[in-house]
A = this chain, B = another copy of it.
């Protein structure tokens, strides 16, 4: 059984919408049957057509989509809605979709503001519907394994976290050159109060909390606008304190000229450490005080079901970003199906980011920008 999927946003020329659709197809759990791909009717229809969506289900607004789909019979109407619009159009369609009985997959960061995020949390809970926030990096098998190993005590109590997300693509004033991605991501009206911190800082923040199982309690941020004329931060470094007493360093920048996207996390505990980076995504380094570092590999056969349940190719055949994204879609689908069938979802399936992570992510955005502006050294992480 395939889940019937609709998409809000992601019309022709959009970037992340196409990624979501590939992610939805890889494991064949979804069938895209409807969409409000664009507020331009013609563009929405053309986008839908190219995607095999029938013209009458290529809507021109999310309101229309939700209203019309709701009127369809149960075996016809969509079950899951993917929302891939810019940040300022996250909250309203998600709320409406949930309140009208649809499960939702939403691109990060969750909302435009923390207030919206907290409101959305209530909506998710009251709606009883399932919700997934696409923090892609938590979809990588070896990121999941890192979390499992740390949770199992493999490296002892966590003491230190280094998480970094260096990009170089905004090293120049790209938003002045008719670059669609650069334009909305550096526009406070569309992205919110943060640039790099919202776009990639939230990923780094989420990755660190996900892998360690810890929660941030204080932060101390240096937030910069490096490129002249830019309206939002394009660089930042944050010192962190966690609820078990551990400390951390988060680096996220978009002006690391020549760098691409090599997200990396290192966690050190009392008896060992783990290290993962996206460029060699199928590898996890596991370190010890007095033994050789081990190279854990997705296909190694000694990993937990959080790896084996999230890979497709045999040992040594690399899987990457699209498969990590697909893992979010797949696990969400399996959970939705279990719900529909009244079965219990497995722990591996339930391991996708939800609304709590979204609230914490938006709290990070607001806290980190506030800290950046503050003369106070350490500020409490408040939600």
> Chain A interface (Cβ within 8 Å of chain B)?
2, 15, 18-19, 21-22, 25-28, 51-52, 155-156, 159-160, 162, 164, 166-169, 171-172, 220, 222, 224, 226, 235, 237, 239, 247, 249, 251, 253, 255-262, 266, 268-273, 278-282, 285-297, 299-302, 312-323, 374-378
**Copies of this chain, tallied across the complex:** 4
The answer to whether residues A171 and B261 also contact, given A220-B377, A319-B321, A321-B313 and a CB cut-off of 8 A, is no
Q: Give 9 pairs: A residue, B residue, CB < 8 Å, sorted on A.
A: A25-B28, A162-B164, A258-B287, A260-B316, A261-B317, A292-B302, A293-B297, A320-B323, A322-B322
Residues of B within 8 A of A266 (CB): 166, 256
Partner of A273, one of B28, B256, B320: B256
CA distance A242 to B286 in the complex (A): 36
Partner of A270, one of B18, B171, B239, B316: B171
Most buried by B among A51, A237, A251, A312: A237
Residues B25 and A257 in contact, CB atoms below 8 Å apart: no
User: Nearest residue in B to A298 (C-beta to C-beta)?
Assistant: B260
The answer to whether residues A239 and B260 also contact, given A162-B251, A302-B291, A313-B19 and a CB cut-off of 8 A, is no
The answer to whether residues A273 and B253 also contact, given A28-B25, A321-B319, A322-B319 and a CB cut-off of 8 A, is no
Residues A21 and B28 in contact, CB atoms below 8 Å apart: yes
Residues of B within 8 A of A314 (CB): 15, 261
Residues of B within 8 A of A260 (CB): 297, 299, 315-316
The answer to whether residues A289 and B323 also contact, given A257-B272, A273-B259, A377-B375 and a CB cut-off of 8 A, is no
User: Nearest residue in B to A1 (C-beta to C-beta)?
Assistant: B52
Residues A239 and B222 in contact, CB atoms below 8 Å apart: yes
Residues of B within 8 A of A51 (CB): 28
CA distance A206 to B369 in the complex (A): 30
Residues of B within 8 A of A374 (CB): 377
Residues of B within 8 A of A159 (CB): 226, 235, 255, 257
Residues B317 and A313 in contact, CB atoms below 8 Å apart: no
**Shortest Cβ distance from A199 into chain B, in angstroms?**
12
Residues A224 and B237 in contact, CB atoms below 8 Å apart: no
Residues of B within 8 A of A292 (CB): 286, 294-297, 300, 302
Residues A160 and B255 in contact, CB atoms below 8 Å apart: yes
**Shortest Cβ distance from A19 into chain B, in angstroms?**
7
The answer to whether residues A317 and B278 also contact, given A294-B293, A302-B291, A312-B322 and a CB cut-off of 8 A, is yes
CA distance A260 to B282 in the complex (A): 12
The 10 closest A-B pairs by CB, nearest first: A258-B287, A261-B316, A260-B316, A318-B320, A317-B321, A292-B294, A320-B320, A377-B377, A293-B295, A25-B25
**Shortest Cβ distance from A230 into chain B, in angstroms?**
13
Q: Contacts A257-B272, A260-B297, A279-B280 given; 14 further ones with Cβ under 8 A?
A: A19-B312, A160-B235, A162-B166, A169-B315, A258-B272, A258-B287, A262-B316, A278-B317, A291-B294, A292-B296, A292-B302, A312-B322, A317-B320, A318-B318
CA distance A279 to B298 in the complex (A): 12
**Shortest Cβ distance from A34 into chain B, in angstroms?**
16
Residues of B within 8 A of A28 (CB): 21, 25, 51-52
